[in-house]
């Protein structure tokens, strides 16, 4: 059985190849395409997040929501701390490539979890909180979108600062 | 050379009260304040945007640059108010290319349920969608990244929102 809420979420998280999202912009993975380690590590101000910070944060929450959808035990995310994992000290091409791989894996596993999610559970509470699975799914889509907007912003700002 | 123009950019997704509040501000005929509406220059079809600019996103970037250039050249000594769904990313890039003497960017935001009610009551139920909530989140993300001001209009009367715009303009004087 299909559910409109699940289909809508999947359309945002995993748009079919060759299609643009509604705003003409990118999905989180698309937003990271072509970003260099220099641009990824750049911050407009010292107390602001970099693209690298945001990308790992998105990956963490993709993991955390997937875990709740699939009832997996906690502790499976390979980086710490939770919520805002630290980027590596050495911000090299290799470490950025490795983190992009982690981000893609986390995203793909979330999409798989959504594709396999039983729609009849959408209105059930997810754990002991007053949050349903539908709330969780809507929340992760909004969360990805919120931070993708920030990644797109940082790319523009970095470009105007002459970073490539 | 930096010009003397100053602008308040009132941004936000559909249904947050941008146009209603900027129109109400305009009706007050405050001295030295001119109100503008982004879409007044005409919005091409999606096909035209893609054909002429490569994507809808690039059309928006180009239109934002044009607006900033226009405000820089036309509003010397005035306070301009521009209402539109401009992304801060495009605005910041345009303002870097064409600096104004001063500017402020204010995001109007509201609860999704309030947006639903407003858009339905003004006969635009087609704009009530998951996508509009996504667009609001996208804009909010960019605004929060820059620590720009946000006004939640969910429980405010139109006159309260206008008063807030007047206060924002006072900071530009």
- B contacts of A10 (beta carbons < 8 Å): none
pLDDT of residue B1: 47
- A contacts of B58 (beta carbons < 8 Å): 24
Is the separation of the CB atoms in A140 and A8 below 8 Å? no
pLDDT digits (tens, 9 = 90+) for B59-107: 999 999 999 999 998 866 789 999 999 999 999 999 999 999 999 999 9
What would the mean pLDDT of B117-134 be, rounded to a whole number? 81
**How many CB pairs below 8 A link A and B?**
82
- Count of CB atoms situated within 10 Å of the CB of A99: 22
Helix (H, G, I), strand (E, B) or coil at B95: helix
Q: In what order do the strands lie in the sheet with B102-109?
A: B33-37, B79-84, B6-11, B102-109, B150-152
Residue B92 touches partner A, C-beta closer than 8 Å: yes
pLDDT digits (tens, 9 = 90+) for B25-44: 999 999 999 999 999 989 99
**Does position A1 have pLDDT exceeding 60, yes or no?**
no
CA-based end-to-end distance of chain B: 20
Q: What is the DSSP letter of A86?
A: P
Q: Which one of B64, B132, B145, B148 would you mutate to disrupt binding with A, by most A Cβ within 10 Å of its Cβ?
A: B145
Is the separation of the CB atoms in B33 and B25 below 8 Å? yes
Tell whether ipTM is more than 0.90. no
Homologous superfamily of the B6-170 domain (CATH): P-loop containing nucleotide triphosphate hydrolases (3.40.50.300)
- Which positions in chain A have a beta carbon within 8 angstroms of at least one beta carbon in chain B? 8, 12, 20, 22-25, 44, 48-49, 141-143, 145-150, 152-157, 159-160
* Extents of the domains making up chain B: 6-170
- Name A101's Cβ contacts closer than 8 Å, sequence gap at least 6: none
Q: CB B142 to CB A149 under 8 A? A: yes
pLDDT of residue A52: 98
Class of CATH domain A4-12+33-160: mainly alpha
Q: Note the pTM of the prediction, 2 decimals.
A: 0.90
- A contacts of B130 (beta carbons < 8 Å): 8, 12
Mean pLDDT of chain A: 91
Could you tell me what percent of chain A has a pLDDT over 90? 71
pLDDT digits (tens, 9 = 90+) for A42-78: 998 889 999 999 999 999 999 999 999 999 988 889 9
Helix and strand numbers (H, E) in chain A are 6, 0
Those of residues 47-66 in B touching chain A at CB distance below 8 A are: 49, 55-58, 60
Cis peptide before A161 (omega within 30 of 0): no
Residue A153 to residue B88: CA distance in whole angstroms: 7
- Count of CB atoms situated within 10 Å of the CB of A51: 27
pLDDT band at A21 (very low <50, low <70, confident <90, very high): low
| Cα atoms found within 13 Å of the Cα of residue A30, Cβ hemisphere only | 17
Select the residue of B58, B89, B134 nearest A156 (Cβ to Cβ). Answer: B89
**Does position A4 have pLDDT exceeding 70, yes or no?**
yes
**Does position B110 have pLDDT exceeding 80, yes or no?**
yes
Q: CB B134 to CB A49 under 8 A? A: no
The strand pair at B33-37 and B150-152 is best described as unpaired
pLDDT of residue A152: 92
Nearest to B97 by CA among B67, B129, B127, B65: B65
Output the DSSP codes for B29-59. --TTEEEEEGGGG----HHHHHHHHSSHHHH
Select the residue of B60, B97, B139 nearest A149 (Cβ to Cβ). Answer: B139
Residue A82 to residue A10: CA distance in whole angstroms: 25
Q: CB A149 to CB B89 under 8 A? A: yes
- Residue B57 in tokens: 């996103």
pLDDT of residue B56: 86
**Does position A108 have pLDDT exceeding 70, yes or no?**
yes
């Amino acid at each position: 059985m299909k559910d409109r809420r699940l289909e809508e979420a999947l359309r945002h998280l995993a748009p079919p190849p060759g299609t643009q999202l509604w705003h003409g912009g990118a999905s989180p993975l698309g937003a990271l395409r072509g970003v260099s380690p220099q641009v990824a590590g750049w911050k407009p101000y010292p107390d602001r997040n970099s693209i690298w910070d945001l990308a790992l944060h998105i990956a963490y929450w993709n993991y955390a929501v997937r875990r709740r959808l699939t009832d997996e035990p906690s502790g499976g995310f390979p980086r710490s701390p939770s919520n805002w994992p630290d980027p590596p000290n050495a911000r090299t091409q290799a470490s950025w490539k490795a983190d992009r791989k982690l981000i893609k894996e986390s995203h793909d596993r979330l999409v798989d979890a959504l594709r396999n999610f039983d729609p009849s559970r959408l209105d059930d509470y997810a754990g002991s909180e007053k949050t349903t699975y539908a709330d969780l799914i809507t929340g992760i889509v909004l969360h990805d979108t919120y931070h993708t907007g920030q990644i797109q912003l940082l790319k523009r700002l970095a470009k105007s600062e002459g970073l490539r | 050379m930096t010009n003397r123009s100053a602008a308040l950019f009132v941004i936000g997704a559909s249904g947050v009260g941008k146009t209603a509040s900027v129109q109400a501000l305009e009706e007050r005929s405050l001295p030295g304040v001119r109100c503008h509406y982004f879409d007044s220059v005409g919005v091409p079809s999606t096909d035209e945007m893609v054909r002429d600019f490569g994507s809808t996103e690039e059309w928006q970037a180009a239109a934002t640059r044009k607006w900033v250039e226009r405000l820089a050249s036309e509003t010397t000594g005035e306070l301009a108010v521009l209402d539109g769904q401009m992304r801060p990313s495009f605005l910041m890039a345009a303002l870097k290319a064409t600096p104004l003497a001063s500017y402020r960017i204010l995001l109007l935001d509201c609860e999704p349920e309030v947006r639903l009610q407003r858009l339905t009551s003004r006969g635009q139920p087609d704009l009530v969608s998951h996508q509009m909530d996504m667009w609001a989140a996208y804009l909010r993300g960019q605004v929060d990244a820059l620590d720009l001001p946000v006004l939640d209009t969910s429980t405010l009367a139109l006159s309260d929102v206008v008063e807030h715009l007047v206060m924002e303009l006072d900071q530009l004087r």
